[in-house]
């Protein structure tokens, strides 16, 4: 599933190619996505994209009268076609611009979403209850300590809870907890503020590094094959259960937490 860095880089990739352009046609080939594409989405026609923003794993295409919220789901991708090719089986939504270019949503598993919203976007049910962005000052040790105070939930599951902080998916939760030396199974309330401060710093570092790497490794968003993929990065623990810890060489353990693969070092993480 695309995680926050992948979505951020997708936004960065399409932004210079569509901002300032007027949408002349909205083509919905398959309305049955994660949530049905509502007829109001056609109101995007005739509007000019004034900005592209990201909130959590949602991309928001803002116009003067409303916002189109896009979610890539588990297998979705966006690309801008300067000379559009014939739509394929999984090309579900096109925004056609005045210069003939097209923003195309491709989603083989149809777990993505495209929702037109006309009120302030922060009040949308998908957005209103989200926690702070991890790369902002709102996500800090004081906030995290207060949010997790007295809770018995595993720290990794709390880190992946979008009501606590958005966008820290499974890959980056594994990585940040390893870098912070915290056992992912630890109850939230058992992690003191000093260690939470270190965890906050590592979350920011891991995500920022992934975004930077993504900016140089993803394919060109203006080409027909410009589907974003996972970053070519050297992950320290994720996906490496049973291998040697990169720090102490002890075999990395792997368990399931919240039905998600969780890899950690029994020696380095306490």
Q: What is the rounded distance in angstroms from the CA atom of residue 84 to the CA atom of residue 62?
A: 23
Closest of 231, 158, 225 to residue 190, by C-alpha: 158
15, 153, 227, 260: which is the annotated catalytic residue?
260
**Share in percent of the chain as helix, strand, coil (round to 5):** 30, 20, 50
3, 6, 8, 175: which is the annotated catalytic residue?
3
Say whether 260 is catalytic.
yes
- How many angstroms separate the Cα of 221 from the Cα of each of 8, 48, 58, 215? 13, 20, 18, 11
2, 5, 134, 184: which is the annotated catalytic residue?
2
Question: Is 240 marked as binding a ligand?
Answer: no
Q: What is the rounded distance in angstroms from the CA atom of residue 267 to the CA atom of residue 227?
A: 39
Question: Is 153 marked as binding a ligand?
Answer: no
Question: Is 151 marked as binding a ligand?
Answer: yes
Q: Show the tokens assigned to 104.
A: 């195309």
54, 57, 104, 195: which is the annotated catalytic residue?
57
Task: Decide: 253 and 264 in contact? Cβ < 8 Å.
Answer: yes
Report how far apart the first and last C-alpha atoms of the chain are (Å, whole number). Answer: 28
Count of helix runs (H) and strand runs (E) in the chain: 6, 10
Could you give phi then psi for residue 258, rounded to 5 degrees? Answer: 60, 35
Say whether 2 is catalytic.
yes
Closest of 109, 76, 81, 114 to residue 229, by C-alpha: 76
Say whether 270 is catalytic.
no
Say whether 153 is catalytic.
no
Q: What is the rounded distance in angstroms from the CA atom of residue 48 to the CA atom of residue 10?
A: 19
The 10 Å Cβ neighbour count of residue 242 is 9
**For the chain, how many residues are written?**
270
Give binding residues for DNA as ranges. 90, 109, 151
Give binding residues as ranges. 90, 109, 151
Residues annotated as catalytic are: 2-3, 57, 260
């Amino acid at each position: 599933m695309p995680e926050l860095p992948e979505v951020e880089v997708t936004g960065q990739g399409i932004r210079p190619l569509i901002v300032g352009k007027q949408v002349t046609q909205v083509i919905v080939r398959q309305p049955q996505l994660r949530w049905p594409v509502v007829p109001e989405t056609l109101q995007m026609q005739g509007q000019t994209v004034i900005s592209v923003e990201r909130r959590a794993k949602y991309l928001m295409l803002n116009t003067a009268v409303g916002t189109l919220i896009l979610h890539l789901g588990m297998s979705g991708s966006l690309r801008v076609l300067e000379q559009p090719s014939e739509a394929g089986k999984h090309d579900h939504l096109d925004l056609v611009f005045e210069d003939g270019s097209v923003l195309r949503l491709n989603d083989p598993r149809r777990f993505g979403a495209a929702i037109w919203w006309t009120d302030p976007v922060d009040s949308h049910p998908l957005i209103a209850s989200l926690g702070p962005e991890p790369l902002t000052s709102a996500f800090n040790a004081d906030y995290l300590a207060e949010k997790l105070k007295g809770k018995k939930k595993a720290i990794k599951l709390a880190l992946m809870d979008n009501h606590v902080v958005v966008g820290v998916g499974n890959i980056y939760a594994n990585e940040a907890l390893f870098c912070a030396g915290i056992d992912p199974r630890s109850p939230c309330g058992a992690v003191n503020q000093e260690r939470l401060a270190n965890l906050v710093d590592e979350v920011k570092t891991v995500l920022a590094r992934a975004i930077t790497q993504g900016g140089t490794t993803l394919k060109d968003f203006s080409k027909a094959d410009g589907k974003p993929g996972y970053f070519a990065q050297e992950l320290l623990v994720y996906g490496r259960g049973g291998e040697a810890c990169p720090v102490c060489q002890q075999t990395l353990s792997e368990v399931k937490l919240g039905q998600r693969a969780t890899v950690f070092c029994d020696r380095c993480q306490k």
